[in-house]
Amino acid sequence: MDGLGNGQGNTPADGITRVGVVGCGQMGAGIAEVCARAGLDVRVAETTGEALELGRTRLVNSLGRAVERGKATAAQRDAALERLSFTTDLGEFADRDLVVEAVVENEQVKTEIFHVLDQVVTRPDAILASNTSAIPLVNLAVATSRPAQVLGVHFFNPAQVQRLVELVPALTTSEETVERAERLVTEVLGKHAIRAQDRSGFVVNGLLVPYLLSAVRMFEAGAASRDDIDRGMELGCAHPQGPLKLADLIGLDTVASIAESMYQEHKEPLYAPPPLLLRMVAAGHLGRKSGAGFYAYP
């Protein structure tokens, strides 16, 4: 099965049929789409009506592109849309079996959301998950009264296509919670799950981000041009995208945030975000999502 799910209404894992997604940006919309395509009832929350409409449009357009590319039928698209609902009130997540938080990489913001979810989600066995790339899961878990049911469920961008999901238990997370999440990810969503320790960067970003930062430093130092750095890794190492193109796709603010989190935890100089990266973020040059990064996106 591809990363879009099979759209046939797979058998629910451990009674997880109702999913909530907090945030409908690029990642939140992708996670919501994957879950809806897999036959789950999905409710998406955003902070404002305007943000919610942008997220709804993002989902509709993505499902439309899946039909255009032959990855889904029109019937599957329509069925997925029927399974999606939208709200600006987290109180409407009371009946959710699983809630995935997918907002900005800011620990304070995420902690506040988990505190609210703990109060409003009434199902005693509900799982509260975060799609964080680097923030310690234990810090989110202890903001709730159910730390055994909190873990990281880290999808990769674009979630509709990328097959990997990192499962990141905190020190407080029960094995039952991890196993339930793993069955959902693999048996219902059709993804491949790996387990990672609750350390900044987890597995993939722990390896990937230092590589991206090295490419930024090489460009910043004038050791090679932007195009030659990317072309070198694409043609010399068979990477599908060069590191600067990939950083633009991920979002330069996200790369900087992960790097800062890793540096704060490990104090390894190679993890510190380079000055050029920080200045690009300050200028609002965030990559594809802002229209400008190391490359221009009209």
Active-site annotation, residues = 133, 154, 166, 205
Helix (H) or strand (E) holding 165: strand 164-169
Among residues 136, 59, 150, 143, the alpha carbon closest in space to that of 105 is found at 136
203, HSE (Cβ side, Cα atoms, 13 Å):
16
The two structure tokens encoding residue 18: 């109702």
Q: Are 60 and 81 in contact (CB under 8 A)?
A: yes
Nearest-angstrom CA–CA distance, 27 and 90: 18
Q: Are 45 and 93 in contact (CB under 8 A)?
A: yes
Nearest-angstrom CA–CA distance, 18 and 172: 24
The two structure tokens encoding residue 225: 């041009």
